[in-house]
């Protein structure tokens, strides 16, 4: 039977046990999916048994694939040696010839090991060079179609589409990214997708996509699922990265307290062996969300306690730490300190070539100058910021706020209200932009 709506209502009222609803859902699922029916039959007896064996997740993502190749009496060492050599050769080729090279080769550039190793290269490149990552994922998809029966393997196909979709998301091509990730999610229903990390990866990327699309509630659901799946795999670092994205998402949902909880959960998973930049990014996020929630004293303590680590995390984190310190000084009405820190944050953003950040910091700095009565600096900073945002695609409401500020700039008629409206609008627009400032993607 289909689980009826009235049964869900009865469970919500406490009139029917959740166990009955779960049983009906399982029966309905098993009736429509032979794979689920087999799994439920095999493992149902283990539910509720404290002595049930626990599965140990693989230490290396490729270990299950290696095991399956050995079962097929294949020489895994030789296959992997050749696959790694092909990957090294392929990454040296220009992106515009890479896919054709894979498609045209008869013996080389094929097999699941080669595809998965190529996807590892693609994943590493998404934060810094998403266009290169997209090209490598394209090559993996082309190689996956080189089979004797022209049927691509679902396991490689799902992972490659997910990686390509995430690369396209990072490039701002959200429609193409959505198409790839929707197909990757559909392929998760295939019993041939045996890699336990692929579902977690697909839902993590879907969460990032929905966040960039401004569909925050959906994004939260996907990211919560991804964090849980990575946790089951004992992959603490990736679970922490997803939790940090969740923290940023809850901040955008105006839930700083929930964001702080997510940040603390992430930090609990990050041990000393995790990379410094990731732990530093997590401590910065926690301080940022504490300040956003009105706990400025605790935010300053967090920054001070981990100052050495934050200083070792590179220029990206350093810029945002200075920017946060400027906002804290502004909130305390320490105008001279805020002006110095905002100026430093703006210079760092310009040095890094992050025009959007420089424009937003410039508007906040202009507000400080306005309160201090330094109108010439207000005019200069506002016009420079408006020039930055004029080249960006933003929503109509954001453009309207910027147009009002532009009109005021032409008349030298700046007001605190107009500047604050423009800052709020630009911050809102930032929430839907794929941006490197959000750390691991």
- Those residues whose C-beta lies under 8 Å from the C-beta of residue 213, and which sit 6 or more positions away, are 174, 178, 432
Backbone angle region of 100, left / alpha / beta, with phi > 0 → left and psi within -120 to 50 → alpha: alpha
- Those residues whose C-beta lies under 8 Å from the C-beta of residue 229, and which sit 6 or more positions away, are 199, 200, 203
Give dist(CA 391, CA 58) in Å, integer: 47
Contact 156, 140 (CB under 8 A): yes
Residue 439: pLDDT band by 50, 70, 90 thresholds? very low
Give dist(CA 58, CA 340) in Å, integer: 50
Higher pLDDT, residue 73 or 157: 157
Contact 121, 78 (CB under 8 A): no
Give dist(CA 174, CA 121) in Å, integer: 22
- Coil, helix or strand at residue 349: helix
**Looking at the predicted structure, is the pLDDT value of residue 329 above 90?**
yes
Query: Interhelix angle for 154-170 vs 112-125, to 10°?
Result: 20
Higher pLDDT, residue 222 or 19: 222
Q: Which residue bears the tokens 């929707």?
A: 182
What's the chain's length in residues?
441
**Looking at the predicted structure, is the pLDDT value of residue 311 above 70?**
yes
Give dist(CA 134, CA 129) in Å, integer: 9
Contact 296, 325 (CB under 8 A): no
Give dist(CA 196, CA 285) in Å, integer: 29
Q: Which two tokens stand for residue 58?
A: 């693989």
DSSP for residue 313: S
* pLDDT tens for each residue of 45-65: 555 555 555 556 666 787 777
For range 388-405, the mean pLDDT: 80
Contact 133, 125 (CB under 8 A): yes
∠ CA 333-336-338, nearest 5°, is: 65
pLDDT score for 58: 63
Higher pLDDT, residue 355 or 260: 260
Higher pLDDT, residue 248 or 37: 248
- Coil, helix or strand at residue 323: helix
Instruction: Pick the closest to residue 140 from 123, 165, 162, 157 (CA basis).
Output: 157
Give dist(CA 335, CA 333) in Å, integer: 5
For the chain, percent helix, then strand, then coil, each to nearest 5?
75, 0, 25
What is the full DSSP assignment across 86-121?
Answer: HHHHHHTS-HHHHHHHHHH-SSSS-SHHHHHHHHHH
Phi, psi of 321 (to 5 degrees): -65, -45
∠ CA 150-153-154, nearest 5°, is: 130
Give dist(CA 45, CA 184) in Å, integer: 31
* pLDDT tens for each residue of 263-297: 999 999 997 767 888 999 999 999 999 999 999 99
Q: Which two tokens stand for residue 276?
A: 């410094």
Higher pLDDT, residue 311 or 65: 311
The Cβ-side half-sphere exposure at 27, using a 13 Å CA radius, reads 9
For CA atoms 170, 171, 177, 180, the dihedral sign is: negative
Give dist(CA 177, CA 171) in Å, integer: 9
Counting Cβ atoms within 10 Å, is residue 377 exposed (0-12), middle (13-18) or buried (19+)? middle
Q: Which two tokens stand for residue 380?
A: 């200069």
Contact 177, 166 (CB under 8 A): yes
Q: What is this structure's pTM? A: 0.82
Indicate the average pLDDT of the chain: 86
**Looking at the predicted structure, is the pLDDT value of residue 137 above 90?**
yes
* pLDDT tens for each residue of 200-256: 999 999 999 999 898 999 999 999 999 999 998 889 999 999 999 999 999 988 999
Give dist(CA 123, CA 137) in Å, integer: 9
Percent of the chain at pLDDT above 90? Answer: 50
pLDDT score for 435: 36
């Amino acid at each position: 039977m289909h689980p009826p709506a009235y049964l869900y209502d009865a469970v919500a009222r406490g009139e029917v046990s959740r166990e009955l609803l779960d049983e009906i859902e399982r029966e309905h699922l098993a009736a429509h999916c032979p794979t689920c029916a087999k799994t439920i039959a095999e493992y149902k007896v283990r539910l509720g048994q404290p002595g049930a064996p626990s599965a140990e997740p693989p230490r290396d993502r490729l270990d299950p694939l290696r095991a399956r190749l050995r079962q097929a009496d294949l020489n895994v060492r030789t296959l992997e040696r050749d696959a790694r050599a092909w990957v090294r050769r392929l990454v040296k080729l220009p992106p515009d010839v890479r896919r054709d090279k894979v498609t045209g080769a008869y013996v080389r550039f094929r097999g699941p090991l080669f595809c998965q190793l190529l996807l590892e290269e693609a994943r590493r490149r998404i934060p810094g060079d998403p266009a290169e990552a997209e090209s490598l994922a394209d090559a993996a998809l082309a190689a996956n179609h080189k089979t004797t029966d022209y049927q691509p393997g679902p396991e490689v196909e799902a992972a490659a589409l997910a990686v390509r979709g995430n690369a396209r998301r990072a490039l701002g091509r959200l429609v193409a990214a959505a198409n790839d990730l929707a197909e990757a999610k559909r392929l998760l229903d295939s019993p041939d997708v045996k890699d336990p990390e692929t579902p977690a990866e697909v839902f993590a990327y879907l969460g990032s996509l929905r966040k960039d699309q401004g569909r925050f509630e959906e994004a939260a659901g996907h990211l919560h699922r991804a964090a849980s799946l990575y946790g089951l795999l004992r992959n603490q670092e990736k679970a922490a990265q997803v939790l940090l994205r969740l923290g940023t998402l809850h901040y955008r949902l105006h839930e700083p307290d929930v964001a702080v909880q997510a940040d603390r959960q992430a930090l609990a998973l990050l041990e000393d062996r995790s990379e410094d930049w990731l732990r530093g990014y997590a401590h910065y996020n926690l301080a940022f969300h504490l300040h956003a929630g009105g706990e400025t004293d605790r935010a300053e303590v967090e920054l001070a306690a981990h100052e050495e680590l934050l200083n070792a995390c590179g220029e990206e984190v350093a810029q945002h730490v200075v920017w946060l310190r400027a906002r804290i000084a502004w909130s305390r009405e320490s105008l001279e300190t805020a002006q110095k820190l905002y100026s430093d944050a703006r210079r760092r953003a310009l040095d890094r070539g992050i025009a959007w950040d420089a424009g937003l910091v410039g508007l906040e700095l202009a507000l400080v100058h306005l309160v201090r009565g330094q109108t010439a600096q207000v005019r200069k900073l506002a016009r420079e910021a408006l020039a930055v945002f004029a080249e960006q695609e933003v929503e109509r409401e954001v453009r309207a706020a910027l147009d009002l500020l532009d009109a005021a700039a032409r008349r030298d008629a700046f007001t605190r209200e107009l500047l604050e409206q423009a800052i709020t609008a630009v911050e809102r627009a930032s929430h839907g932009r794929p941006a490197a400032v959000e750390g691991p993607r």
